[in-house]
Structure 1
Amino acid sequence: MKPVFLSYSRKNVKDVQEIADTLCAGGIRIWQDIESLTAGNTDEQIRKAIQEECAVFFLYVTDESVKSEFIREVEIKEALNKSKKDETFHIVPLIDMPLEKANQKLQGSMLGDISRYNGVIIHNGETLFEASSKIRKILLKAIIKRPADQDFTISLMTYSRTPGNIQPQLDLDWSRLNFSDKIMSDTIWKTHLLPALKDVKDALLNAGVTLIRLYAKASLSASMAFGYIFRRETGFKIITSQGEQLWTSLERPEKPSGLKINEQSRNIGSKHLGVNLSITTSVDNDLRNYVDKQQLPLRAELFCKPAEGPSRESVPNHNVASAMAWKIGNAVRDTKSKYNITDIHIFGAMPLGLAVLIGSELNACGRIHLYEFNKSESMYYSSWRLEGNY
């Protein structure tokens, strides 16, 4: 996917960072001068970016940007020339000043009223984040097209930037985001990342894309949440990279999972279920430490472990992974029904690919609490909640 060119005044850089984070949370790659310019002729690089490298020209219209001769005479004119030659090239403004004044200042630079372009006007009482989210929806629908080979590639990153040899059509590079709280907090999930994934989902469905090829280097919570958002019941099929293999979920796997699931009843009256996914290593002690420290009452606990014990060789291939995910999903639903469970708490150690597949199998499971393990502190902490209504 070609990036979106960000045109703005450096005096608005703080606002533009918020806009950039909102767009990038939805997988939209950006071309921004402070990151993309290299040593050499700035004018030439910017002209080339607009003419050859970018699919969209985003213009942040403010009192400061409309005064910039460089924006008016170079960036806007290059974008208009590109749009005349390429009907797939989009100009999308975000107008953060009175429309009449903006049109007056841009007269001779833009073709007619700037509101005729498919952009957004920030109205009184509307936040920049709300307006930027509207822009994200517009851009996603503009750039997401059904690929000829039917596969649509998405990268999901929380630990490091997307490698240069990976060229996804959507780049969910959450490692580059700048939020006030840590990315794995439930606040960031609900405020920024979940809305972004829902926008991606809507845009994919709008384009008729239902087959996703996922490349992930992400936390277990992010991987499981992605599988959950794009689970089979919502119309999607995920093929996820796991090492050199490709794993995908199956409606009814025929191969044995090699997984043993034991249930233990605990606090009568509680409506919480603990799910222990000790696949590559045991999480027994760390889970118990968390439950005791937080005084979390569990009605029951599911112990899901390979028959021969946790190890890195427990999930050798796609067939075993699919069977494990399917078996875990059914066990969670059965236990939920048995004890009238409302909240499910998932702790685990497993391959990322398996986390994606398990997430895709957790349909109709109620409220799901995800946890991340902090290796430096040797303890779990609460991360995201999946509420089940998306």
Structure 2
Amino acid sequence: MTNPTGKMFVSYRRSQADIAEALVTSLHEHGIRTWQDISDLRTEPTQSEIREVLEVENPELAGGVVLVSGDVVDSGIILELELPGLHNRWKNEEEFFVVVALCPGIDYDDANAILSKSPTLLDFSDWNMIKLGSTAEPAAADDVATAVLSERVRLNHERLDTDHPLDVSLDTYAPPSYASQPAITIDWSSYFTDGPPTSYRWNRRLLPRLQRVIDLVEESAPGRSLRVRGQAHLPAVFALGRCLRTTRGIDATWLQHSAGQHCPWNVHTDQQDSGLEIDFHVNDITGSDLAVLVSVTNDVDAAVGRSKSSLPNFGGVLELSLGDDSGSVLSASEAAHTAHVFRQKVQSVLNELSAISTIHLFMAVPAGLAFLFGQQSNTFPEIQTYLLETTDGARTYQPAASLGN
């Protein structure tokens, strides 16, 4: 039986490594793990390991992506091993699926001729194919990733019991690694290897793909609840929560890791007073920028103060903190209360300062609370999030994701 949460085997010629890398990156951003020769092959002979991973019902794979280029006709490994292996698994396993993508410059007739060279009675020459266009642009790779994700979500949705959630992870610190693999594993870790992403990368690449993932989940698994986890920077977690705003009607729970256990945090949990303290200052009633400082695991004031030379003049400053209890561990009920107060107080300030067009959000909170905050931001205007950085020993906040309404 196919493992529907397994990896997608990527078949390609090394001469097309750049296109394959763009495709693999897009798959990772859309929550799809991959099996690729340059990252997954061990030191044993290539053909024997590829043959092993392509064996029927090997649980490592959920399917395959075939990248067709003109020089595939010169590859014995692809024509005689990879393509027959993928086709055999598709034929023998009901949930195993294969997506065929055509490199720039390859049309459907070219692909049919190339794929028919595989020395088997049945091949992929009559397969539905996705053209990458005249250039290897990110949008073209996204078309392939979208097709893979849609089918993956559909298969997992059909297999799960009605009341069982679909598991999703978001990781930015390191590639995802879980004992039980989620169906969707969004991996942004490569963008943080050499420091945080630029604002352009946040807003033009990562956020649109995150929104697309949730849109496809809603479309391919209607009515399915989600169970979310991950080791991720707060702006990323907040952005995921905002994609799952409560008005969307998708029941989503964050698994908050604490004391070696995962505790489910949900905005609909019965609330218990968290002791959150509120302080609000008006600087300019006509100002367009509102600062929201949330201090739960630590105090953000000093780092925000050191960052003010790069910040706008704020029309108002709203501070939410645990006061003397800063750093204490919240329960699920206290987290739900904190998220409710966050929404209530921010909305109250927006009603009072009607000129506000941008919220600047500075957080020192558990990841699960950032997720709940995002879910509770239904009617808020544009939100500029910030990432805490340490430069020359000084902790400051730098702009991260900017989320429109």
TM over 0.5: yes
**Greater mean deviation of Cα atoms: 94-103 or 6-15:** 94-103
Deviations 1:70-112 (A, max 9, x none): 1111111111111111232212111121322222222242847
2:293 is aligned to 276
2:388 is aligned to 373
1:103 aligns with 2:117: no
2:139 is aligned to 130
Equivalent pair of 1:185/1:384 in contact (CA under 8 Å): no
2:96 is aligned to 89
Equivalent pair of 1:344/1:367 in contact (CA under 8 Å): yes
Cα 1:356–1:178 shift into 2, 3 Å: closer
1:143 aligns with 2:160: no
The residue identity in structure 1 corresponding to 2:100 is P
Q: What SS is found at the alignment partner of 1:348?
A: strand
User: How far apart, CA to CA, are the structure 1 residues paired with 2:262 and 2:149?
Assistant: 29
1:263 aligns with 2:277: no
1:167 is aligned to 181
Among candidates 14, 37, 41, match of residue 37 of structure 1: 41
CA positional deviation for 1:47: 2.0
Deviations 1:145-195 (A, max 9, x none): 22225211112111122234242111112214599x855332222332222
User: How far apart, CA to CA, are the structure 1 residues paired with 2:124 and 2:369?
Assistant: 51
Cα 1:127–1:42 shift into 2, 3 Å: closer
2:26 is aligned to 22
Among candidates 57, 62, 65, match of residue 64 of structure 2: 57
Cα 1:252–1:78 shift into 2, 3 Å: closer
CA positional deviation for 1:117: 2.6
Sequence identity percentage = 26
Q: Which aligned pairs between 1:157-306 and structure 2 lie closer than 5 A?
A: 157-176=171-190, 183-205=196-218, 206-208=220-222, 210-242=224-256, 243=258, 244-251=261-268, 253-291=270-308, 293-306=309-322
Equivalent pair of 1:57/1:90 in contact (CA under 8 Å): yes
The residue identity in structure 1 corresponding to 2:49 is Q
Equivalent pair of 1:93/1:118 in contact (CA under 8 Å): yes
User: How far apart, CA to CA, are the structure 1 residues paired with 2:143 and 2:223?
Assistant: 21
Q: Which aligned pairs between 1:309-348 and structure 2 lie closer than 5 A?
A: 309-313=324-328, 315-340=329-354, 341-348=356-363
Equivalent pair of 1:162/1:173 in contact (CA under 8 Å): yes
The residue identity in structure 1 corresponding to 2:212 is D
User: How far apart, CA to CA, are the structure 2 residues paired with 1:188 and 1:224?
Assistant: 17
User: How far apart, CA to CA, are the structure 1 residues paired with 2:192 and 2:293?
Assistant: 32
User: How far apart, CA to CA, are the structure 1 residues paired with 2:42 and 2:326?
Assistant: 46
Deviations 1:200-230 (A, max 9, x none): 2122112225322122211111111111111
Cα 1:252–1:157 shift into 2, 3 Å: closer
The count of aligned residue pairs is 382
The residue identity in structure 1 corresponding to 2:202 is W
Instruction: Give the alignment's Cα RMSD to 1 decimal.
Output: 2.1
1:6 aligns with 2:23: no
User: How far apart, CA to CA, are the structure 2 residues paired with 1:113 and 1:39?
Assistant: 30
Deviations 1:216-249 (A, max 9, x none): 2111111111111112211222222222242323
User: How far apart, CA to CA, are the structure 2 residues paired with 1:216 and 1:112?
Assistant: 39
Deviations 1:14-71 (A, max 9, x none): 2211111111011100000111111223222212222323121101111233431211
**Greater mean deviation of Cα atoms: 242-251 or 255-264:** 242-251
Cα 1:16–1:177 shift into 2, 3 Å: farther
Cα 1:143–1:225 shift into 2, 3 Å: same
The residue identity in structure 1 corresponding to 2:317 is E
Cα 1:183–1:11 shift into 2, 3 Å: farther
Q: Which runs of 4+ in 1 moved over 6 A?
A: none
